[in-house]
Amino acid sequence: MTSSRIPGFYNMTVEERRALLREAFSLTDAETQNLSNADALTIGKADNMIENVIGTYQLPFGLGLNFLINGKEYVIPMAIEEASVVASASHVAKIVREAGGFQTESKERLMIGQIQVVGCPDFQEAKQQILHQKDTLIAAADNAYPSIVHRGGGVKDLDVRILNEEDASSYSKMLVMHIYVDTCDAMGANMINTMVESIAPIVEEITKGKVYLRILSNYADRSLATAKCVIPPHLLKTGSFAGEEVRDGVIHAYEFAASDPYRAVTHNKGVMNGIDPVVIATGNDWRAVEAGAHAYAARNGHYGSMTKWSKDEEGNLVGEIELPMSIGTVGGATRVHPLAGFSLSIMHIESAEELAQVIVAVGLAQNLGALKALATDGIQKGHMALHSRSVAIAGGATGEMIDVIAKQLVEQQEIRVGKAKELVEQYKK
């Protein structure tokens, strides 16, 4: 596909959209069938992924359009049940592409493994001994997973902290060792857990303490991805609202979230509205990404905004985001779930680093979509209009009746199931 800009995609039927994708991406028969098959994830595959399987649970699977990131076009798969998210992200991506697109980067990509040691006779001496034998420990960890070393990854560094050093309690005082692992394109959970478990006996011998936990950390603050956009005010004009007015409203909304955790939680939920659907669509662990993102939002001792919005010297709106991204493009569900592999293929993702950058760009876009709506007509106008179809269905509308009832709900400004049921009964008469 030469462009992620597909005018009228929203107005096409599902069959027309699939046909367009088949031609644009040269999809195979199997890939096309997976899109139309409710059982793309077979019960057999599902039964091998988790325990006690009784079926599969589906989510709407849509496409975020118009994304231009580092000069590359992206059609971005998104799996989510909430109305207006895909439309909002696509709308903002269209605005940003007219301003030159998103600029993204990854500073480094190292995942973290932790080993907890308690009961050391001398914690400071234990720390110094670990640092003294750093090379030995790194080599031992690499030997536990040689395949990653052969691919250019492996343990790149090690450090040690002493927690609660002044606390008299034998339960709270502990030594914690971190290994920093280049997991290449894997998320790396199993890899890191194997490494830290394998070297735990060596750590015990060095520290003369007892190892309890040895596991990865999902706070991947050594695997950060950033995205930025710069938007001239004229591109932000919305109805009767001037671009400068929208810009200032977005900045005021950001400052609210940066200052107040009650607002920040809802603000950041909007960011994750964009991030989670891409993480889910690509078969990654959205719980790990959520946990890391929220922890990063509180890294300065105060829970605040995941994004930053400001005005530059030219009066442009500047948006920025930086988040840890514990994701991968190989292993796990990314290769087991048919639609996860499909998602990666249509984005032409070449690395986990690239996927992380795409994900944070979508998060930034969705955040602007929400703030722009809040700063102008309010969040309900657009959201509820899109939600009206779901309400119509919940009220009993089927087939062609869905659009008729949804339109009446919007016109009467009563988007609720009770009203939908009333309109359905009237329609049937």
User: What would the pLDDT profile of 168-212 be if each residue is shown by its tens digit?
Assistant: 677 899 999 999 999 999 999 999 999 999 999 999 999 999 999
163, containing H or E segment: strand 154-163
User: What would the pLDDT profile of 26-78 be if each residue is shown by its tens digit?
Assistant: 888 888 888 877 667 888 888 888 899 999 888 999 999 999 999 999 999 99
The encoded tokens of residue 152 equal: 């250019």
User: What would the pLDDT profile of 100-133 be if each residue is shown by its tens digit?
Assistant: 999 999 988 999 999 999 999 999 999 999 999 9
In contact, 353 and 223? CB cutoff 8 Å: no
- Count of beta carbons in the 10 Å neighbourhood of residue 211: 21
Helix (H, G, I), strand (E, B) or coil at 72: strand
User: What would the pLDDT profile of 375-394 be if each residue is shown by its tens digit?
Assistant: 887 655 555 666 687 788 88
- Which amino acid does the sequence have at 164? N
Burial 76-96 (b: 16+ CB within 10 A, else e): bbbbbeebbbbbbbbbbbbbb
104, containing H or E segment: strand 103-106
User: Which residues are part of the catalytic machinery?
Assistant: 82, 269, 285, 383
pTM: 0.90
Helix (H, G, I), strand (E, B) or coil at 63: strand
CA separation, residue 365 to residues 85, 108, 222, 243, 349 (Å): 10, 23, 24, 17, 19
In contact, 100 and 230? CB cutoff 8 Å: yes
- Provide the percentage of residues in the chain whose pLDDT is more than 70: 97
